[in-house]
Amino acid sequence: MERPSWAPQGIDISVPSVSRIYDYYLGGSHNFEVDREAARQAMQFIPAIPKVAQANRAFMRRAIELAVAEGVTQFLDIGSGIPTFGNVHEIAQRADPAARVVYVDHDPVAVAHSQAVLADNAQADVVGADLRRPREILASEAVGRLLDLDRPVALLLVSVLHFVQDADAPHAAVAELRDALAPGSLLTLTHGSYEGMQIPAERAEGTVGVYKNTRNPLIMRSRDEIARFFEGYDMVEPGLVPLPSWRPETDPKEADPSLFGGFVGVGRKA
């Protein structure tokens, strides 16, 4: 298997990666054939998965614009993935040129490509770290340099928590991050769920099955389990809702049924 020039040495390009599969859904070019094949298998069950990825990005944009409108101009994006059009720093710095962004991902391809994209941006950086180890993220040089944790921070956990298994204590990790943030900080989160799905269960389960072949299987949680991530936060209207229903720009009734397989929300730390 030929290794592209942009692929960091030492990574196994024979195993599909969640972030590179997502990059493929979004129309990016930093993925390998093993990632594209996994994505195509998942799309056999739910052809609209790229629409779900795009809708997640659109929700993230609306949440970032909300944060800046409230005066929150520091962003910590964990599980940030591979940069594509409409990244956090682009949206935030367009709204406020003083906005600062730290991206975090454990995929070496995501980190290397982010470093290249951010090379000339003094107010944004990337950390190679894992959500399951919050202390390493908080102690990183980039967080110390770019983020003032005594002031509100917008914490973004978009399409990442459903790749953290219960055995890795995701609720505890999110709580540890919350405790490090100042009052007024915002948590923006999206998470897959079987609840509310408007497609047959076997189709959804087929897609979940594809991710069992990655290093980060897809874990679907109930609405109540997802709501627990917001403990210590006051929900911003309209609360924890299906993706098409959070401050929509188009009629949710016209949304693809696949977009209802999960919940999204924004919380404000009391």
Rounded CA-CA distance 20/32 in Å is 8
**pLDDT given for residue 4 in this prediction:** 67
Closest by CA position to 32, among listed 74, 4, 8, 58: 4
CATH 3.40.309.10 assigned to 52-198+219-269: no
pLDDT per residue over 88-117, tens digit each? 999 999 999 999 999 999 988 889 889 988
pLDDT per residue over 49-82, tens digit each? 999 999 999 999 999 999 999 999 999 999 999 8
Q: Note the pTM of the prediction, 2 decimals.
A: 0.92
- Give CA angle at 75 (116, 121), nearest 5°: 30
Strand ranges (E), 143-232 = 154-158, 186-192
Of 56-60, 122-126, 253-257, the poorest mean pLDDT is in 253-257
| pLDDT greater than 90 at residue 196 | no
Rounded CA-CA distance 129/230 in Å is 22
* Residue spans per domain, the chain: 52-198+219-269
Cβ neighbours of residue 235 closer than 8 Å, sequence gap 6 or more: 265, 266, 267, 268
Q: What is the mean pLDDT of residues 178-199?
A: 95
Burial (CB count <10 Å: 0-12, 13-18, 19+), residue 147: buried
pLDDT per residue over 25-50, tens digit each? 999 888 989 999 999 999 999 999 99
Closest by CA position to 163, among listed 131, 186, 134, 201: 131
